[in-house]
């Protein structure tokens, strides 16, 4: 063996064209094993050796169906130290591989929680900080600001330059729709058809711009959540034409339309046909569906997620099309991440108004089929739908605020309703101002609810200045340019220049809500007590050991609210301070509240 290694050392040359993933790894991880995926023409014909390195062993090498890929299984023991591993092959090829030291307290990083408020951004539509990266010679699609689904040129520098604004407003977490490479011919701005899972799109500024943005956000107390898509890739991903195995992509690499019957995952009566048509069929033709039942692919997807968390310093992950992936893989994926980062946060997207389906995917839920996941948060689509209906319809036995009341009443289904992500709108639906018929007062009521109830609030960019996609509900129009983020804009949301009186008012109102939530622990962590709505009024309280705060939402005309039904939360309080106006109110027999107004009362 020693003679063999000496000969390899003499013959070894850097392996041209060899791609290795993950790009590097770390010592001291909870899981001591890492799988290296090697990609180069006919690389599977090579036999590799690892030059001696204390604490590190090459345990196995193998390939699947095709010779352009090879897998090396490496064990990194507890005694291993940061440094450079050297791999040499029997044909003289070699490559170096870096083992890095982890950042201080990386394992103990804190995820997002109900103490946070998340700001959701489509990077291409938010702000253009560097016009020189609008187009890139290796990227197919170019900037076209006139096309509905065209690229606008927004980038990570544009976001970084506006972090101070986000801090002033009161946001503490930033969720970007995917910024990774999306080298598709059309519609690439949305980011969900990725073509390189380890690279930030160069039109966004590349990896270093992303790392810089995360670091600068952290300096301002803002965490960053990465949008990940384990279910599928873009049709221009190299795996489509050159894959490691025949079954790497579902349905033999050919498009099969998904039935979108998400309940088949947990339905005890579902047919194999329907379950397969949901799990294995493709979301759309441009997004080939990955087969996570292939163990090597499952490991690849887990490792790439951990790589981004560790390398970038993330505080959370948002999982796109959560239920479309193989559910056994999703359990393995989420549990592997949480084993490395016990205080981390993951939020899953399951777009349904059925709370039972959403509850199935949350960590701690005892499911009939024994399924268990590591995902702590899910997006509360039932509440979002109930809110819009409540504000747009006349009150009745089953309508108006009762819809919100009943939606929150379903919290018994969830393992932890306080960990649900609550939102009035997002990047896949019309903006809340649009959904509410361009009513400023209704929009204020919606945002008051979302920032004062249980859960983790998420606000879509531009909501604070009433961005509107009327009359179109096309995605390209929903994801409108942020005012002041691009050349030619007359209005600027950061400076306030050119905003209408209503936009300025809304921006100030949302800032006030964000600051109140920050200042009052009960609004973030207090238990919730709510009362059946009556006469267009919905009243609830948030209560902790320090505070009792009452929220009153009136979507009707001016009223005098009788206080007798609410004695259990008033507990003899004689007065309350309206945190929105600063006015101190006497709590006698009735309380006056204006038409389409909200009150946030701190009981005294």
- What is the domain-level CATH number for residue 299? 3.20.20.80
pTM: 0.96
Judge whether 44 lies within some domain. yes
Task: Find the CATH number of the domain harbouring 60.
Answer: 2.60.40.10
pLDDT at 412: 98
Q: Which residues pair with 305 in a beta bridge?
A: none
Same domain (yes/no): 386, 441: yes
* 27 located within any domain: yes
- Active-site residue, 254 included: no
- Flag whether 417 is in a domain: yes
Are residue 361 and residue 385 in the same domain, yes or no? Answer: yes
CA dihedral sign of residues 399, 401, 406, 411: positive
320: annotated active-site residue: yes
Confidence (pLDDT) at 12: 47
Q: Which helix (H) or strand (E) holds 226?
A: strand 223-228
Q: Which of 116, 320, 340, 596 is catalytic?
A: 320
560 & 542 share domain: yes
Residue 171 is encoded by which pair of tokens? 């946001």
Note whether 433 and 464 are same-domain residues.
yes
Residues of the chain with pLDDT under 50: 1-12
Instruction: Note whether 91 and 141 are same-domain residues.
Output: no
Choosing from 499, 519, 539, the residue where a domain stops is 519
Identify the CATH number of the domain in which residue 550 sits.
2.60.40.1180
Q: Looking at the structure, tell me whether residues 584 and 481 fall in a common domain.
A: no
Whether 225 and 126 share a structural domain: yes
463-496 burial, b at 16+ Cβ within 10 Å, e below that, comes to bbbbbbbeeeeebbbbbbbbbbbbeeeeeebbee
What is the per-residue pLDDT for 589? 87
Strand pairing of 377-378 and 345-348? parallel
Whether 333 maps to a domain, the answer reads: yes
Angstrom distance (rounded) from CA 578 to CA 581: 6
Question: Which one, of 21, 26, 27, 32, lies nearest residue 59 by Cα?
Answer: 32
Same domain, 71 and 117: no
Longest dimension (CA), the chain: 95
Tell me the C-alpha distance between 291 and 252, whole Å: 10
Residue 276 in domain = no
The packing angle between helices 327-340 and 295-308, to 10°, is: 40
Count of structural domains, the chain: 3
Identify whether residues 332 and 224 lie together within a single domain.
yes
Q: Which of 116, 280, 340, 349 is catalytic?
A: 349
Q: How far apart are CA 513 and CA 73, in angstroms?
A: 51
Q: What three-state secondary structure class fits 464? A: helix
Give the per-residue pLDDT at 2: 46
Range of the domain at 6: 2-102
The pLDDT assigned to 8 comes to: 41
Q: Tell whether 137 and 71 lie within a shared domain.
A: no
Asked if residue 471 has a cis previous peptide bond (ω within 30° of 0), the answer is yes
256 within a domain of the structure (yes/no)? no
Q: Which of 485, 519, 553 marks a domain boundary?
A: 519
Same domain, 54 and 153: no
* Helix residue ranges, H only, 361-500: 381-392, 402-409, 432-435, 440-450, 475-478
CA 483 – CA 464 distance, rounded (Å): 11
Domain end residue (candidates: 35, 67, 102) = 102
Q: Tell me the two tokens of residue 379.
A: 């997006």
539 with 494, same domain: the answer is no
* 239 assigned to some structural domain: no
């Amino acid at each position: 063996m020693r003679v063999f290694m000496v000969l390899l050392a003499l013959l070894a040359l850097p392996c041209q064209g060899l791609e290795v993933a993950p790009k590097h790894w770390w010592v001291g991880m909870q899981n001591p094993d890492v799988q290296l995926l090697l990609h180069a023409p006919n690389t599977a014909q090579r036999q590799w050796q690892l030059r001696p390195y204390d604490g590190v062993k090459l345990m196995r090498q193998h390939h699947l169906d095709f010779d352009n890929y090879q897998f090396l299984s490496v064990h990194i023991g507890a005694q291993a130290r940061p440094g450079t591993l050297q791999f040499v092959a029997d044909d003289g090829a070699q490559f170096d591989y870096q083992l890095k030291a982890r950042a201080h307290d990386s394992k103990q990083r804190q995820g997002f929680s109900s103490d946070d408020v998340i700001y959701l951004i489509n990077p291409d539509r938010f702000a253009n900080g560097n016009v020189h990266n609008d187009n890139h010679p290796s990227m197919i699609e170019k900037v076209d600001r006139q096309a509905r689904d065209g690229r606008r040129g927004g980038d990570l520098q544009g976001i970084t330059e506006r972090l101070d604004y986000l801090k002033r407003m009161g946001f503490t977490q930033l969720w970007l729709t995917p910024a990774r490479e999306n080298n598709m011919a059309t519609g690439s701005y949305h980011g969900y058809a990725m073509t390189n899972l380890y690279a930030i799109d160069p039109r966004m500024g590349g990896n270093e711009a992303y790392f810089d943005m995360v670091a600068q956000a952290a300096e301002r107390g803002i965490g960053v959540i990465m949008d990940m898509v384990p279910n599928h890739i873009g049709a221009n991903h190299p795996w489509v034409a050159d894959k490691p195995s025949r079954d790497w992509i579902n349905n033999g690499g050919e498009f099969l339309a998904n039935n979108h019957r998400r309940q088949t995952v947990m339905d005890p009566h579902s047919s194999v046909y329907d379950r397969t048509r949901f799990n294995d069929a493709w979301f759309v033709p441009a997004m080939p569906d990955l087969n996570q039942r292939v163990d090597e692919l499952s490991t690849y997807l887990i490792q790439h997620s951990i790589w981004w968390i560790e390398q970038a310093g993330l505080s959370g992950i948002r999982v796109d099309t959560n239920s479309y992936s193989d559910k056994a893989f999703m359990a393995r994926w989420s549990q592997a991440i949480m084993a490395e980062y016990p205080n981390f946060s993951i939020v899953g997207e399951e777009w349904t108004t059925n709370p039972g389906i959403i509850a199935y995917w949350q960590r701690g839920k005892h499911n009939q089929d024994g399924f268990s996941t590591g995902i702590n948060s899910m997006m509360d689509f039932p509440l979002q739908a109930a809110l819009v209906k409540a504000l747009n319809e006349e009150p009745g036995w089953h309508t108006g605020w009762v819809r919100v009341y009943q939606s929150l009443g379903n919290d018994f289904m969830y393992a932890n309703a306080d960990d649900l992500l609550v939102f009035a709108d997002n990047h896949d639906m019309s903006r809340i101002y649009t959904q509410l018929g361009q009513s400023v007062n209704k929009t204020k009521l919606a945002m008051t609810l979302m920032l004062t109830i249980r859960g983790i609030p998420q606000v879509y960019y531009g909501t604070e200045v009433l961005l509107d996609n009327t009359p179109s509900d096309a995605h390209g129009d929903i994801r409108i340019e942020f005012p002041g983020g691009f050349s030619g804009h007359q209005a600027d949301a950061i400076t306030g220049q050119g905003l209408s009186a209503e936009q300025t008012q809304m921006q100030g109102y949302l800032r006030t809500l964000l600051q109140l939530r920050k200042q009052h622990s009960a609004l973030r962590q207090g238990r919730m007590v709510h009362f059946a709505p009556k006469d267009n009024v919905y009243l609830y309280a948030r209560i902790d050991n320090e505070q009792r705060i009452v929220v009153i939402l009136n979507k009707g005309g001016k009223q005098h609210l009788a206080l007798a039904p609410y004695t259990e939360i008033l507990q003899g309080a004689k007065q309350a301070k309206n945190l929105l106006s600063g006015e101190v109110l006497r709590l006698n027999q009735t309380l006056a509240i204006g038409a389409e107004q909200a009150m946030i009362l701190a009981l005294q």
